A and B are shown apart, each in its own frame.
Chain A
Amino acid sequence: MKLLAKTNQIYLAFSLAIYLFAGLAFYQVVRILIYREVESRLRVERLDFEAYIRLHKVWSDSTYFVENKIDVDPVSAHAPQTESFTDTLIRNRYDNELMPFRQFTFYVPIQGVTHRVSIRKSLIQSYQLMEVITATMVVCLGLLLLGTFWFQGKLSGRLWHPFYETLSRIKRFNLASATPLQLDKPEINEFRELNEVLRKMGDKMQQDYRSLKEFTENASHEIQTPLALINAKVEQLIQSEKLTETQGRWIEDIYQASRRMARLNQGLLLLAKIENQQFTANHTIDLTVLLSEKLDDMEEVLIHKQIAVEISQSMPFEVQLPPSLADSLVTNLVNNAIKHNHANGRLELASDGEKLWLGNTGSALVSSPERLFERFKKEGSSSDSVGLGLAIIKEICDNYGLQVQYQETSGWHRFCISRKPETE
């Protein structure tokens, strides 16, 4: 839920409650005022009535010709005599409509007989007044609500604008690019501070990233050079004629070990570079074509190991990858499929446009399939492999919106590459 929608929602609920309460309170106040007014008039009329009785000693209905204004009834002296104000409805004589009245009941002795006197005042005017007032208030409050709602929406939109601007810039921010994170200086202090902090963080991250990158390159240089030296010296050493068979074997071991170390170093550096996303120039690459080409390249190895290649479906499988990584991905996949294949085995490539499989026959897995993609996980103990191939495949896939899965079914080992479902 968006911030503005959320505040609007809370604001709406709150102002509705307040307005409702205010409306009810107002209605009650008006009602009390009206009643008080009517009741004080009724009291005055009572005084008039009592003055009249004192003067004339007798009451005659004819004095009051207006209908329903007064009722004078004799009551027994023992009846309870309490004065009271009540609301009552009385039917209109002409159009038979029920009309609201306020009635004041009191007891007066006339010529020695207690009479109950009820004088009334019509409330119809007051009710109409109240209706009009209520209607006006509802309209006014409604307009006020809408108005403030609109205003508040506009206002928070404007107030939060720098925040959303910052957010969108951070989203676009690319760590690997040389351009620093550029943010505005909004007039609101909090946002300015936020941008300031973010800019500092961005700069620091870029700086760290750069030094990491430099470290990667330097480490590569520092390790590769001594390795090159070992290699060169060993190569010179084997040119000498005076080596014995045993010495030859030792040298061979040194040589192999240095080659492996070079490979290992290159593999680790490649992994680090992928993790740091130091490859940025993506191209559209058809992996199906690339894999077929790779298999053609490896034809001799395949013939040598007598592995039959089947390409069952070859729909294009296009991905966005830097070319060197695409090549690395394909090379590692093919190498893996060849290395773990047995003689007279089979290798299968298929793509339906959504998924790409590379399968190979081979003996059953010894280690658990879940750990297959981990670094230095080697199947079997062949010392010539450094155990980074599958880790590289996985790292490339993870970083470029692909996923790789491994399946084993009846002697077939399949690596399936598919596009990661869009998460956003």
Chain B
Amino acid sequence: MKVLVVEDEKGLAESISDYMNKEGYICETAATFREADERIYLYDYDCVIVDLTLPDGNGFQLIETLKKLLATTGVIIISARNALEDKIRGLEIGSDDYLTKPFHLSELNARVKSLIRRRNFGGHTEIRFREIRVNPASRKVYVNGQLTIISRKEYDLLLYFLSNIDVVLTKVSIAEHLWGDNIDSADSLDMVYSHIKNLRRKLLEKGGSDYVRSVYGIGYKFGES
């Protein structure tokens, strides 16, 4: 899977590409419009992450070119502008998602994964992790082959974990993933805790192992270690 990050802020581009590399993607970065333009002509990417404001051009233009060249490439816009018009325009010219800065890397990662899943397999692929099996099309979860009934938010939470295996997810990023940016933190952090507790309990009941670990009080990590 090849991912291109078009972002003029070097440090941010680096963080994104490190994160993506760790997730097993081949990640390349472009800091300017020209560089990005060149790369999309030369190589095919599965997913392109585009910042709208570039020093020498506009991200929208890049997306238009990209869509002409290879329509199956997924596009995620990352922008500092939280403007509805930008979001609408982005969707109109064929981008798949819009993230307002600052965002959580884990959130970006989850969106990239979900996008690639939709693009490549039309959503008809199952996500497996050990004894856990999730069917995104029917939103059903199986543990050891048994159907496990979990709530809508618990499902979203599980999918978020499965998209970010062995990664520490902050409580805030989980809360914002589940309830959106406008959630007020004080209550939501408690809720995150109670959802995680319930999810754990339900997975354990069906004979699954406990994969969720609390880290430094900042967040949680889902993984084997």
Interface assignment of B197: CB less than 8 Å from any CB of chain A: no
Interface assignment of B153: CB less than 8 Å from any CB of chain A: yes
| CB-based contact A335/B182 at 8 Å | yes
Interface assignment of B194: CB less than 8 Å from any CB of chain A: yes
| CB-based contact A256/B15 at 8 Å | no
Interface assignment of A62: CB less than 8 Å from any CB of chain B: no
| CB-based contact B12/A229 at 8 Å | yes
Interface assignment of A301: CB less than 8 Å from any CB of chain B: yes
Alpha-carbon separation in the docked complex, A252 to B220 (Å): 13
- Nearest to A235 among chain B residues (CB) is B105
What residues of A have a CB within 8 angstroms of the CB of B82 in the complex?
Answer: 220, 266, 269
Known contacts being A228-B9, A238-B215, A243-B216, is A324 close to B185, with CB within 8 Å?
A: no
Alpha-carbon separation in the docked complex, A1 to B224 (Å): 83
- Nearest to B176 among chain A residues (CB) is A259
Q: Interface digits, B18-42 against A, CB 8 Å rule (1 contact, 0 not)? A: 1100000000000000000000000
Known contacts being A236-B19, A266-B82, is A221 close to B53, with CB within 8 Å?
A: yes
Pick the residue among A224, A256, A304 that contacts B80 (CB under 8 A).
A224
| CB-based contact A229/B15 at 8 Å | yes
- Nearest to A335 among chain B residues (CB) is B184
Interface assignment of A370: CB less than 8 Å from any CB of chain B: no
| CB-based contact A232/B191 at 8 Å | no
What residues of A have a CB within 8 angstroms of the CB of B188 in the complex?
Answer: 301
The binding surface of chain A is classed by DSSP as helix
Interface assignment of A182: CB less than 8 Å from any CB of chain B: no
Number of interface residues of A (CB under 8 A): 46
Interface assignment of A403: CB less than 8 Å from any CB of chain B: no
What residues of A have a CB within 8 angstroms of the CB of B94 in the complex?
Answer: none
| CB-based contact B11/A384 at 8 Å | no
What residues of A have a CB within 8 angstroms of the CB of B216 in the complex?
Answer: 238, 243, 245, 247-249, 251-252
What residues of A have a CB within 8 angstroms of the CB of B179 in the complex?
Answer: 300-301
| CB-based contact B218/A224 at 8 Å | no
User: What are the nearest 4 A-B pairs in CB distance?
Assistant: A248-B216, A224-B80, A232-B15, A228-B102
Between A and B, 18 residue pairs with Cβ closer than 8 Å are A217-B81, A220-B81, A222-B80, A228-B80, A229-B102, A232-B12, A233-B11, A236-B15, A238-B168, A238-B219, A239-B167, A245-B216, A248-B217, A256-B172, A259-B102, A304-B191, A305-B187, A323-B84
* Extra contacts besides A225-B12, A252-B217, A255-B218 (14): CB < 8 Å: A224-B101, A224-B102, A225-B80, A228-B78, A236-B105, A243-B216, A252-B216, A256-B185, A300-B191, A301-B188, A304-B190, A335-B184, A339-B187, A384-B184
Enumerate chain B interface residues (CB-CB to A < 8 A).
Answer: 9, 11-12, 15-16, 18-19, 53, 78, 80-82, 84, 100-106, 153, 167-168, 170, 172-173, 179, 182-188, 190-191, 194, 215-219
Enumerate chain A interface residues (CB-CB to B < 8 A).
Answer: 217, 220-233, 235-236, 238-239, 243, 245, 247-249, 251-252, 255-256, 258-259, 262, 266, 269, 300-301, 304-305, 323-324, 331, 335, 338-339, 382, 384-385
